Amino acid sequence: MKNFVEIFEVGPRDGLQNERSRIALDDKIAFINLLSRGGFRRIECASFVSPKWVPQMADSAEVMDGIERTSTVSYAALTPNLRGFERAVMARVDEVSIFGSASEGFSKANINTSISESLERFTPIMLAAKEENLPVRGYISCVTDCPYDGSISPESVAKVANELLLMGCYEIALGDTLGKGTPEKIHNMLTSVTEDVPINRLAGHFHDTNGLALANIDVALDFGIRVFDAAVGGLGGCPYAPGAAGNVATEKVVCHLESLGFETGLDSSIVDQAVGFARQLRGKYH
């Protein structure tokens, strides 16, 4: 297992959420069903947020109801508050995610609260998740740079990561939301974060705005991180991070990891089909 690296596929949620044209429910379901055959252990499928803020995710309950579930896949959803969590439970998700930020400016723009207030809001979700026996993953946005606050100190990231760990998050995904992270910045950030958080509880979530995502993954690999978020076809972006490009492409990460001697357990032919499907979606709705 030392040479195994898991890719957490986030295309159906983080990848599609920023598409301007509404994507048909049947296409979302077909996309997830295809990915379910690819060997992924976890797929992020939905977001139970207000449709006012993220209209693309308004049909998340219908998506979860319509997919053909595979027993080896954990189907995940984003839940920013208790109401969203309750809707996710009704939709029979396998795990949920909460999302905070290492930047005060981004936290206020994204979820309209300070960092400390956002962490307080997660407490009832964590309690409810414990009762439902649902795993909770934590996201941290802007781990190196913020569109509002500029450079983010590694200590700020470490503080939020430690809080999420103490709350009970089984894993914490460190997000380079703008894609402005460099190997040096990622190294400094991870040096600080790993003082408090065990490396096996961390994941990397890198956007590829400046083409450095793979180099940043290499730094994280050197630290011992073995889980990375990615989206087939490089789908994605963030509505609250102007100028941010998509997630690092799953197919690029697979190729890169395999060239380094790591195994991902993914079926390359299915991944290629999913890349084609993602491109068709963009062509169909643009």
Token pair 């606050």 is found at 149
**Mind listing the pLDDT tens digit for each residue in 149-183?**
899 999 999 999 999 999 999 999 999 999 999 99
**Mind listing the pLDDT tens digit for each residue in 216-274?**
999 999 999 999 999 999 997 554 455 556 799 999 999 999 999 999 999 999 999 99
Q: Span 200-217, mean pLDDT?
A: 95
Name the catalytic one among 142, 146, 169, 238.
238
**Mind listing the pLDDT tens digit for each residue in 78-91?**
998 999 999 999 99
Confidence of residue 33 (pLDDT cuts 50, 70, 90): very high
Token pair 């509505």 is found at 239
Decide if 238 is catalytic.
Answer: yes
**pLDDT at res. 52:** 87
Confidence of residue 3 (pLDDT cuts 50, 70, 90): very high
Whole-number Å distance between alpha carbons of 243 and 170: 31
Whole-number Å distance between alpha carbons of 91 and 132: 13
